[in-house]
Amino acid sequence: MSDTHAESVAFVRETTIPESPPPATERGVVKWLRENLFATPANSVLTIAALYVIYLILASTLPWIFGGLWTTTSLAECREILQGKTGACFSVLTERWNQLLYGFKYPVEEYWRPNLAFLLLFIAAAPVLFFDLPRKLLIFTGLYPFLAYWLIWGGSALVPIVALLGILGGALVYQRFVKSSFAAGFFGAILAAFVIWIVAGMIIPENASENAMLRAVPSRDLGGFMLNMMLGVTCVSLSLPIGIALALGRQSDMPLIKWVCVIFIEFIRGVPLITLLFVASVMLSYFFPPESTVDLFLRVVIMITMFSSAYIAEVIRGGLAALPKGQYEGADSLGLDYPQAMQLIILPQALKISIPGIVNVAVGLFKDTTLVSVISMFDLVGMIRGPILASTEWNGVYWELLGFAALLFFVVCYGISQYSQWLERRLATDHR
Amino acid sequence: MKKSVFFGALTVAGLAAGAAAAGTLDDVKARGKLNCGVTTGLVGFAAPDANGKWEGFDVGVCRAVAAAVLGDATAVEFVPTTGKTRFTALASGEIDMLARNTTWTFSRDVDLKFTFVGVNYYDGQGFMVPKELGVSSAKELDGATVCIQTGTTTELNLADFFRANNISYEPVPIETNAEGQQQYLAGACDTYTTDASGLAATRATFENPGDHVLLPEIISKEPLGPLVRHGDNEWGDVVRWTLNALITAEELGVTSTNIAEMSAAPGSNPEINRLLGTEGNLGEMLGLSADWAKNAIMAGGNYGELFEQNIGESTSIGLARGLNAQWTEGGLIYSPPFR
């Protein structure tokens, strides 16, 4: 058998041909280029056009950035040194750095206070954002608002302590009475908190702020990017729970609650934010006597929070509507009451669906905080448009300043967006 | 029941506001600080410097009033206001006076219930053109494209001027001064028109200011001055006569350098003596100390010195005195006598 075979065939290959590399056009960079950039003639044309546009942009911006000056004291001096050459005048950023970040009135020797508050913010936010961390850290998160208030505004430490005590007292009362009746717990808690605030408010001496450990800084002196961060963080963290409550309220079977929520949401969504800000800054001062107005920062926080909570409520309502009816019925069939059903079954799913929408609102809200510049608060954009561009040294510097503002906002907004994508991946339980 | 409580509270609030407004001078003295409304930033007129200290021509007026009332030019709380919030801030009592390059008009005085206490800068609408256009008068601008801020009185003034001179133009609407600056430099329009002081300040920021000229025609009246609320005449008098003291000081040659010497003892000029309080009791009549005007002038110098330091020809803005020269030198700056 084998003999016949050997004789009938002239050559039999006994080993496999060694693997040879793929053709040059089918591997590595060349392959990638061919597939992605030059697949068809039309693609090639587009690629070349795009490369040319990129070249044009870089050719004009790179010399501008790398030729930039960082140490002059005025725009005129920049121009003198540059002598008509291309180059940015970044000195405005170095000279006005503190003003851009903290506003022009925050006392220089107290800058460590907002800085510390900013660092602590990460510690406080971490257990909320990353739920793998030990739950005990949440205690610090709860204390953080009072600590941050004390750090940034300074003054008597008694004020945030009393505020904290009031809330703790309210929480105790709520826990005590909520078993018998929700209404008793809820209104009892509010009553208890107010009693503690009013009684303790009388005990705090009038001049407590004068010799306080941290010097008191009035709200009017806050400014710069610090103000944007403060407004953004406060309003987002307040509007999320309020938004959830509004969304649930809108689906409620109780007509009063339902209609209050519907009217609130529809009214706020029907009014531009800038109108609300004008109401906060202009109209309200007509109603109060000159010396007893509510703090402007607080007024603005209330308005922005109302605005964004209405939007978040609608986003979450979308999430609630996306849940199949069976989920509600399933919760009922397990014998869960309303709070349990919401907490254990409905909201975890609805909120997960709503994440992209909520993040969208949060990013938009953060950028909307620059609107406060029109009511003469000096946030980052207000600082640029007002004092810096109006100074004789820097009048006429636009690209450098607004580019810097754009960069700061981009960093924060991109961070929020990346976090939300991580969160969506982390919470993904379906198989898509 | 609830409603009546609410209205009751409003009434009390209104009464309290009314009571507070009745004696601004006493309020300021009790507070130890003057709340002065300024712009959020206008080159030469009001802007905080790198250390957060406010500087400018309007700021000078605030400091003079604070010095006159409280004897301390730094006892001022500057409240930045925008074009939209300035009048409410004043009407609601948030600020005691407004020194924010505000044009004195009939409706603001009468309808909005404010009292303009004088004029510290006579402005007017002007034109800026590139030198290479070879235009020397606004009347030669027939058929020109004009960058103009929409919704302002400048727009109406422009239409009136061109119609009165029977020439045509094509408007290029813009929203803000910064935008106008960019459009003009990019050649989108032949000429840019706004208040002359604004034009000068804008031109000062150009890379080559020498390539642009301001045309001699001024086509509108924009008298800018400090204002207070209606109905508190004592306070109005204080602000009015502080401004007048600055003007009179320049007229009489009293400057921040020679004032110490002049106020030490009564001199030969009785009006200077009355102004500086070495003679007579003008300060007492205003409810202020005898050296009120001296303090006001020492705060930042007399009117001419304030002008030169902030917007005058030695600064980058480089405004000539023009209409804002003393009446003795052909301008409109004129103070009633101190007698």
Q: Do domains B2-122+224-329 and B125-220 have the same CATH topology?
A: yes
Residues in B lying within 8 Å of A, measured between beta carbons: 10, 13, 16-17, 20, 39-44, 46-50, 52, 79-82, 84-85, 88-89, 91-94, 178, 181-182, 201, 204-207, 315-317
Q: What is d(CA B90, CA A343) in angstroms, rounded to the nearest whole number? A: 51
CA quadruple B17, B20, B21, B25: dihedral, nearest 10:
-160
Q: What are the tens digits of pLDDT across the range A256-314?
A: 999 999 999 999 999 999 999 988 887 776 776 666 667 888 889 999 999 999 999 99
- A25 pLDDT band, cuts 50/70/90, is confident
Q: Is the ipTM of this complex over 0.85?
A: no
| Predicted local confidence at residue B324, as pLDDT | 93
Q: With contacts defined as CB-CB under 8 Å, which chain B residues touch A398?
A: 178, 182
Closest CB to B41 among A288, A289, A386: A386
Backbone dihedral region of B56: left (phi > 0), alpha (psi from -120 to 50 degrees) or beta? left
pLDDT in tens, B96-155: 999 988 889 888 899 999 999 999 999 999 999 999 988 888 888 999 999 988 767 788
CATH topology of domain A220-432: MetI-like fold (1.10.3720)
Q: CB–CB of A127/A137 below 8 Å?
A: yes
Give the pLDDT band (50/70/90) at residue A431: low
Label residues B95-114 b or e (16+ Cβ within 10 Å = b): bbbbbbbbbbeeeeeeeeeb
Work out the end-to-end distance of chain B between its first and last CA atoms, rounded to an integer number of angstroms: 58
Q: Does residue B84 or residue A92 have the better pLDDT?
A: A92
Residues of chain A found within 8 Å of residue B84, distances taken between Cβ atoms: 278, 282, 374
In contact, B82 and A376? CB cutoff 8 Å:
yes
Where residue A214 falls among pLDDT bands split at 50, 70, 90?
confident
Q: Is the pLDDT of residue A12 over 90?
A: no
- Name the token pair of B277: 């309080």
Residue ranges of the alpha helices (H) in A323-432? Answer: 325-333, 338-341, 347-368, 380-383, 399-427
Rounded to whole angstroms, what are the CA distances from B269 to A185, A286, B264? 81, 49, 14
Q: Write out the CATH class of domain B125-220.
A: alpha beta
**Domain residue extents for chain B:** 2-122+224-329, 125-220
- What 8-state DSSP symbol labels residue A271? S
Residue A333: pLDDT over 70: yes
3-state secondary structure of A251: coil
**Stretch B159-175: mean pLDDT, rounded?**
89
* Partner residue facing A376 (CB), from B81, B201, B317: B81
Q: How many Å apart are CA B154 and CA B150, to the nearest integer?
A: 8
Q: What is the pLDDT of residue A215?
A: 86
A392–B94: do the CB atoms touch at under 8 Å?
no
Of B80, B201, B316, the CB nearest to A76: B316
Query: What element of type H or E holds A263?
Result: helix A255-269
Q: What is the DSSP string of A9-31?
A: -S----SPPPPPPPPGGGSHHHH
Averaged pLDDT of chain A? 88
- Give the pLDDT mean for B22-41: 89
Rounded CA-CA distance B14/A292 in Å is 12
Q: Does A16 touch chain B (CB under 8 A)?
A: no
Q: Two tokens at B124?
A: 């007017």
Does the distance separating the beta carbons of A76 and B201 come in below 8 Å? Answer: no
Q: CB neighbours (10 Å) of residue B145?
A: 16
Structure tokens at B326: 């003393």
d(CA A37, CA A118): 45
The first and second tokens of residue A121, run together, are: 């913010």
Q: Give phi and psi for A362, each to the nearest 5.
A: -65, -45
The Cα B122–Cα A428 span in angstroms is: 68
Chain B residue with minimum CA distance to A396: B205
Tokens linked to B186: 């990019």
Strand partners, B333: B326
| Three-state SS at B127 | strand
Q: Which residues of B touch A282 (CB under 8 A)?
A: 84-85, 88
Instruction: For B212-227, write each residue's pLDDT tens digit.
Output: 998 988 899 889 999 9
Q: Determine contact, residues A419/A425, Cβ cutoff 8 Å.
A: no
- Asked whether the predicted pLDDT for residue A1 surpasses 90, the reply is no
What's the pLDDT at B22?
A: 56
Report the distance separating Cα B281 and Cα B69, nearest Å: 15
Which of A72, A81, A83, A104 is most worth mutating to test chain B (most B CB atoms within 10 A of its CB)?
Answer: A104
| Most distant CA atoms of chain A, gap in Å | 117
Q: Which of A76, A374, A396 minimises the CB distance to B82?
A: A374
Confidence check: pLDDT of A5 > 60: no
**How many helices (H) does chain A have, and how many strands (E)?**
20, 0
Cα separation, A20 vs A31, in Å, equals: 17
CB contact under 8 A, B48 and A396: no
Please tell me if residue A111 touches chain B, with a CB cutoff of 8 Å: no
Q: Are B270 and B276 in contact (CB under 8 A)?
A: no
Contacts of B184 in chain A (CB under 8 A): none
Strand order in the sheet with B169-174: B169-174, B144-149, B191-195, B125-130, B212-214
Give, in order, the Cα–Cα distances in Å from B124 to each of B215, B230, B303: 12, 26, 20
Put simply, the answer to whether A385 touches B40 (Cβ < 8 Å) is yes
Q: What CATH number should be reported for the domain whose range is B2-122+224-329?
A: 3.40.190.10
Q: Model confidence at B11, in pLDDT bands (50, 70, 90)?
A: very low
Q: Where are the domains of chain A?
A: 24-66, 220-432
